[in-house]
Structure 1
């Protein structure tokens, strides 16, 4: 946090200084009133009123200027702090591995990046400063009251004891319920997001009532938790309202008796009462500010849960000067939560060579292909590109060499052109058109605004095959030395698949290819086939060789219904 505040150190000094001076001005005003009552008014000296009146005006103007300065200067640092933390949080999320994103609900991450950071901003921009000012004002005014007439000062000081005790009890209870509310808000955001993305499935199966029931249960639970928090806060604030009012009544009663006995002057009682009234708002607001502080602490804790998660995939420092695309898997293994998914995997794919990776569902094909661009890291052995361990390379350099098209393509809520050029920002129109033709994605020219047509979130306005073709075009456009196709052709019809495969033959001549395949037609794209069984590669050879010599390979293709 200190590093975030450092750029605003100068402004923060001025803000806190103006806050302290404004407290001084608010305390000085009742003392000027005391001087007026006990001086010119009691002596019947109209001439003496003018300088005191001017002093009162000066104090009032000074306080107004200090308040304006404080509020005006506070906006920039607070908004800047929120923006910087949000940027760092987003950047950190990009560094975290796929395993992290698979374990966390997207709604929880969304609520941390929006709701929690907004809550932090509100506290830092309002709550923290006013909490500090309230505590300082209460302490200083109480000291002044003790110096004026110690019996009344002790009465005011004694009224603070139940407030402190109740605040400590309130803090423990509020932290728990506040965290519960914020977690439930994240769960509700997840449900909304999933319902929006899965609206086709919900409608297709007629499950709107069921989904609404789940949402309503979550919303009802959030309502109950929020009401629990409100009831807790209401009890605390009510108690804080009662104590100052009772104390004020006692001050007026005892003060009037003291004036009558000559223990204090009328002006002193007026100043005492005015100063006492100046404590009503700080004490009443204390509950609100403490509640805000607890919510901000909970929000900070939730944000730091993400920020404190170390990236398990650490960026290397090396590069490949002239990449050729020679890929080797040397004794590779991968374990997840102590479950060994891959072990002792050896594979050598030479530049320009294409290997089809074939295996039963759940055999680890997607996991294996994810090791090449370091979406996951090996737990045994190593993956090398042109002799360099991929863990020693800069991630940006590695992912310029390796491009991946996934079975479940991800498209963003932006134009077709922007989605495609994610793979290559410097691509020319000619290169873009070539990639589109290779992926048989010419349908984009029939969209209302062609390549500038904005497609919906996740590309839901397109068919599955269209999304796959766009994802494939994006991968091709990056001109990788190693192209990984993770069952990218699965959603294509037979005719389109044949056209795409014919075009891919030309692309794969200039790139090393790893193709996850289920159909014989896709297998035939490859120079050789690697059979993945029981977490390791058991056979490598041409499609014909494996058909003739490996019964498991024939059975697998038959089970996948890829043979005519």
Structure 2
């Protein structure tokens, strides 16, 4: 099964490089210096055959040749040639070192900027994007693709230019030494150029396919690791292995095909060049025999072709590396150019706008990023929450299908606890996600303290609203770090272990009935592992609830976060919540009658609308839909 996302049309190389231009700010000068150093190394390498030419023509000339040097002069010429070759070799080594010195650090800086930029973008992209994109694809774009980009900037892009220039200059030297032999060498260029066109298309297609398949494979590994308990419990490890083996073999086949395309191109170019050298050897001997060429020139010709053999053989690999890097840039820009559909209103959040930047990957201006959000025009926090004709439909919903939420009208009194009930799939969780703008309404309005949530800076809105999910997600960190993740800045300004932070942590854990933390090996400083899977489901839910409490919100939105708790613990948590968060408006998705009974009022969601609102007792007496929902949930719980 493939999870590869639909690829956008590939960009021309110039446009692709222009797309990552913001990452190159400040490093272009060093890249140019590295390029010049590499060019100098290539030109020095081409100068060595000319020294050999002079040496052969002066030292090994026949004694009867007019002007032939004496034995003493020949010896001196040898030593001069040896010294010259040594200096040229040392200069070439120095220029190669300078190339690495100038280019490697900025190339690593480009990779780092791109990686930070893509992570920032992933944080800002809406939930709908993450629902649609496999995590393995995003991981491969943030890791493997950017590593390939770094290697291309540090080596491939430079050497492609250098070896192209080396070939041009080298062919010019060949014409200077002997134009007939140069024509023989150049005769191989036209077939190679013709073959390069087909190679480019074939390799680009194979490269894109292999990188996408690598992302799919990463997704499979991630899903298997996260679901290892399920695989073991159902004995499906061998089945999962077979599926993984199939994907791995498919990727292997693509990589082998890609290597074959590259190998056939390299074999074609090298073999054609070698055949032409054989022809040139026969012609060169005839030219020397007829006096049309000196022995030194012939020796320099073949020494030059030996120098050119490296770029001739490497040009195919460098072209393949360039095409792979081009694919990596395309894949990177596919993420970076995804629209951020949920953002703060223009001009309300300087930090967010600076982080976004007008160009892909632009780092935020620290002076702007640190600017405080102006909330003076916003009403004071009271905990008001209202849905007025709120509608929502998923983007991929068929046109003839009804909206998931078809006009929800509901108002919560500040400080009250309201339970939201409905049949499975009625849109309860989606309705809750509209409050902190994890999703946006497609019609109507959601208001917090009388203001449309879309008019709040996201930072301010999510300061006022806190949410806890049924599927508790914890991070690979300590209990303390997980619980204080969204704590007010003032509470943790002096550090997560300051007295104020400690007091908040203790209050949140106590409210969520998370006393089990004291029994962990290192207490609140115990690392809880990836996604908290070392804990039970109930323990994870209590820590997630404690995290929502520690945020000290004005509006608390709970998506059935107590489902894994027993009824007695649930009652204790709810009672403690009422005490600690007195004045906090709470909207909770509930399935258990025990949870519903603890709420001030209950809202019934049916057919995309609020069918009824009242106390638990009133609804039991008058609402058949409510009784059906409660009965269904009770049976499901059994």
Shorter-chain TM-score bucket reads over 0.9
Unaligned runs of 5+ in 1: none
> Is 1:120 the equivalent of 2:120?
no
1:355-366, aligned counterparts within 5 Å?
Answer: 355-366=418-429
User: What corresponds to 2:355 in structure 1?
Assistant: none
Q: Deviations over 1:188-210 (max 9, x none)?
A: 11111111111111111111222
**Number of paired residues?**
564
User: What corresponds to 1:110 in structure 2?
Assistant: 139
SS in 1 for 2:473: coil
SS in 2 for 1:279: helix
User: What corresponds to 1:4 in structure 2?
Assistant: 23
1:446-485, aligned counterparts within 5 Å?
Answer: 446-485=519-558
Q: Distance in 2 between matches of 1:237 and 1:28?
A: 26
SS in 2 for 1:7: coil
In 2 relative to 1, CA 228–48 (structure 1 residues): closer, same or farther, beyond 3 Å? closer
- Aligned mate of 1:524, from 597, 613, 637: 597
SS in 1 for 2:419: strand
Q: Distance in 2 between matches of 1:537 and 1:467?
A: 31
> Is 1:328 the equivalent of 2:347?
no
SS in 1 for 2:39: helix
Q: Distance in 2 between matches of 1:24 and 1:187?
A: 45
Q: Distance in 1 between matches of 2:241 and 2:83?
A: 67
> Is 1:489 the equivalent of 2:489?
no
Q: Distance in 2 between matches of 1:323 and 1:158?
A: 80
Q: Distance in 1 between matches of 2:567 and 2:452?
A: 39
Q: Distance in 1 between matches of 2:207 and 2:601?
A: 59
**CA RMSD after TM alignment:** 1.8
In 2 relative to 1, CA 50–209 (structure 1 residues): closer, same or farther, beyond 3 Å? closer
SS in 1 for 2:277: helix
User: What corresponds to 1:507 in structure 2?
Assistant: 580
**Counterpart contact for 1:505–1:525, Cα < 8 Å:** no
Q: Deviations over 1:1-23 (max 9, x none)?
A: 22211211221221111122222
User: What corresponds to 2:354 in structure 1?
Assistant: none
> Is 1:441 the equivalent of 2:514?
yes
**Counterpart contact for 2:427–2:608, Cα < 8 Å:** yes
> Is 1:35 the equivalent of 2:54?
yes
Q: Deviations over 1:364-394 (max 9, x none)?
A: 0000000000000011011121222211211
The offset of 1:61, in angstroms, is: 2.3
> Is 1:413 the equivalent of 2:476?
yes
**Counterpart contact for 2:46–2:170, Cα < 8 Å:** yes
The offset of 1:41, in angstroms, is: 4.7
SS in 1 for 2:99: helix
The offset of 1:54, in angstroms, is: 4.1
> Is 1:432 the equivalent of 2:505?
yes
User: What corresponds to 1:548 in structure 2?
Assistant: 621
User: What corresponds to 2:239 in structure 1?
Assistant: 210
Q: Distance in 2 between matches of 1:209 and 1:552?
A: 46
Q: Distance in 2 between matches of 1:470 and 1:401?
A: 20
- Aligned mate of 1:280, from 304, 309, 313: 309
Q: Deviations over 1:455-494 (max 9, x none)?
A: 1211111111111000000000010011001101111012
The offset of 1:299, in angstroms, is: 1.5
Q: Distance in 1 between matches of 2:344 and 2:180?
A: 68
SS in 2 for 1:544: helix
**Counterpart contact for 1:8–1:77, Cα < 8 Å:** yes
Q: Distance in 1 between matches of 2:603 and 2:22?
A: 51
**Counterpart contact for 1:331–1:382, Cα < 8 Å:** yes
**Counterpart contact for 1:329–1:345, Cα < 8 Å:** yes
Q: Distance in 2 between matches of 1:270 and 1:198?
A: 67
- Aligned mate of 1:243, from 253, 272, 275: 272
User: What corresponds to 1:144 in structure 2?
Assistant: 173
**Counterpart contact for 1:329–1:382, Cα < 8 Å:** yes
**Counterpart contact for 2:149–2:328, Cα < 8 Å:** yes
Unaligned runs of 5+ in 2: 1-19, 62-67, 349-373, 493-499
Stretch moving more, 380-389 or 83-92? 380-389
Q: Distance in 2 between matches of 1:13 and 1:187?
A: 37
> Is 1:18 the equivalent of 2:76?
no
The offset of 1:251, in angstroms, is: 1.9
User: What corresponds to 2:339 in structure 1?
Assistant: 310
Q: Distance in 2 between matches of 1:432 and 1:136?
A: 65
The offset of 1:65, in angstroms, is: 1.2
Q: Distance in 1 between matches of 2:508 and 2:25?
A: 48
The offset of 1:72, in angstroms, is: 1.7
Q: Distance in 2 between matches of 1:181 and 1:513?
A: 49
Q: Deviations over 1:105-133 (max 9, x none)?
A: 11111111111111122222221111111
Q: Distance in 2 between matches of 1:542 and 1:461?
A: 39
User: What corresponds to 2:318 in structure 1?
Assistant: 289
SS in 2 for 1:560: helix
The offset of 1:94, in angstroms, is: 0.7
Q: Deviations over 1:520-547 (max 9, x none)?
A: 2212332221111001112122222222
Q: Distance in 1 between matches of 2:523 and 2:418?
A: 35
User: What corresponds to 2:120 in structure 1?
Assistant: 91
- Aligned mate of 1:82, from 111, 123, 133: 111
The offset of 1:48, in angstroms, is: 4.8
User: What corresponds to 2:283 in structure 1?
Assistant: 254
**Counterpart contact for 2:421–2:428, Cα < 8 Å:** yes
Q: Distance in 2 between matches of 1:14 and 1:119?
A: 22
User: What corresponds to 2:257 in structure 1?
Assistant: 228
Q: Distance in 2 between matches of 1:519 and 1:471?
A: 19
**Counterpart contact for 1:354–1:508, Cα < 8 Å:** no
SS in 1 for 2:611: strand
SS in 1 for 2:27: helix
